[in-house]
């Protein structure tokens, strides 16, 4: 994917820097980005809380986190199949763990969703990877400053 991104960047009119790295250890300064995007990637990182902590660290104040991610199914039967087939899914799909409770992980990392949609994507090849989360979130501390609920917030 890195080579594809670099090639597309070079062929486009948009300037982009492409970096190889780890979501758990980003090589960027604090508050470097307006937006952090996770697209079908949190299912593969080894340490989801660390990756989300890094995302929050590199976001500028009032920055946003955009996500399109696999999630654990709300359907109990499908969730059981996600658990059963997770070892095979990891093996054949570059470490994908579609049964993770990604929504809770994002919230536990201190993000509040500005908008959120959970749905099954019929174009996904297997039922265990069809439940998806799509949304935009901001760090909870920033949200409380924006809406005036943080301690010491100005009127």
**Number of structural domains in the chain:** 1
pTM given for the model: 0.83
* Tens digits of residue pLDDT in 15-44: 778 788 899 999 999 999 999 999 999 999
Range list of β-strands (E), the chain: 33-39, 59-70, 111-120, 131-139
**Closest among 32, 42, 1, 38 to 19, alpha carbons compared:** 1
Instruction: Record the tokens describing residue 27, joined without a space.
Output: 């090589």
Q: Does the residue 23 lie in any domain?
A: yes
CA–CA distance, 33 with 65 (Å, rounded to integer): 10
Q: Does the residue 152 lie in any domain?
A: no
The residue range of the domain holding 71 is 2-147
Range scoring the smallest mean pLDDT among 11-25, 50-64, 94-108: 11-25
Q: Does the residue 60 lie in any domain?
A: yes
């Amino acid at each position: 994917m890195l080579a594809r991104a670099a090639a597309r960047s070079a062929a486009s009119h948009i300037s982009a820097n492409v970096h190889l790295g780890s979501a758990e250890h980003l090589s960027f300064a604090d508050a470097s980005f307006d937006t952090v995007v996770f697209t079908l990637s949190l299912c593969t990182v080894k340490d989801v809380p660390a990756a989300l902590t890094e995302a929050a660290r590199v976001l500028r104040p009032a920055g946003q986190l955009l996500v399109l991610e696999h999630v654990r199914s709300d359907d109990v039967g499908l969730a059981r199949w996600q658990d059963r087939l997770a070892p095979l899914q990891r093996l054949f799909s570059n470490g994908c763990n579609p049964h993770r409770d990604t929504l809770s992980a994002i919230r536990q990392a201190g993000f509040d969703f500005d908008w959120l949609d959970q749905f099954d994507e019929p174009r996904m090849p297997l039922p265990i990877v069809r439940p998806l989360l799509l949304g935009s979130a901001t760090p909870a501390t920033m949200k409380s400053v924006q809406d005036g609920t943080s301690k010491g917030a100005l009127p």
